[in-house]
Amino acid sequence: MKLSVFFKSVIDSDIAPVVICSADHTIIYINPSAAQRYAKKGGYDLIGKSLLDCHNSDSNIKIKKVAEWFGESPDNNRMYTFHNPKENKDVYMIALRDESGELIGYYEKHEYRTAENADTYNFQ
C-alpha cells in the first residue's frame, strides 16, 4: 500500500480542521473536519481556490509574510499565529517541504489546550 494512503488517513482522522495549501496559496486538500467547519464558505468546493480569497486583507498580508519566511530557510517551519480563547486552542502555520527541503506548501495546525474529559480506553 502506498505511503500516501497512510498520510491521507492521518489527516482525515484528525478532529481538527486541516486545510493544506500549495506554495502559491491554492487550497489542495481539506479534511472532513475542515469541510464541516467551513461548510458555509464552500467546504470541499474550496479545493482549487486561493486561500487568500477566504481571508481579509490584513490576514492575507500575514499569510504571505509567513509563507515568505518559510521560503527563506528550511529551518523556518512553524509560526504561531493566534490563540482562540473560545475554543482554547493555539493555531500555527506549518511549512510543508519536499525531500530536498524546498517549500511546497503549508497548512494550519490547531492545538487544543482543553484537557480531554473522556474516560481512557473507553470502548463503549
Assign residue 29 the CATH number of its domain. Answer: 3.30.450.20
pLDDT at site 11? 95
pLDDT at site 55? 93
* Residue 124 maps to a domain: no
Q: Tens of pLDDT along 6-58?
A: 999 999 999 999 999 999 999 999 999 999 999 999 999 999 999 999 999 99
pTM: 0.90
Please give the residue range of the domain that contains residue 52.
16-112
pLDDT at site 1? 81
**Rounded average pLDDT over 102-121:** 92
**Rounded average pLDDT over 94-105:** 97
* Residue 122 maps to a domain: no
pLDDT at site 89? 94
What share of the chain in percent tops pLDDT 70?
A: 100
Distances (CA, A) of 10 to 25, 38, 57, 61: 22, 20, 32, 30
* Residue 53 maps to a domain: yes
Going through the chain in order, the beta strands assigned E by DSSP cover 19-22, 27-30, 78-84, 89-97, 103-112
Instruction: Answer yes or no: is pLDDT of 122 > 90.
Output: no
Q: Give SS3 for 35.
A: helix
* Residue 64 maps to a domain: yes
Per-residue confidence at 124, pLDDT binned at 50, 70, 90?
confident
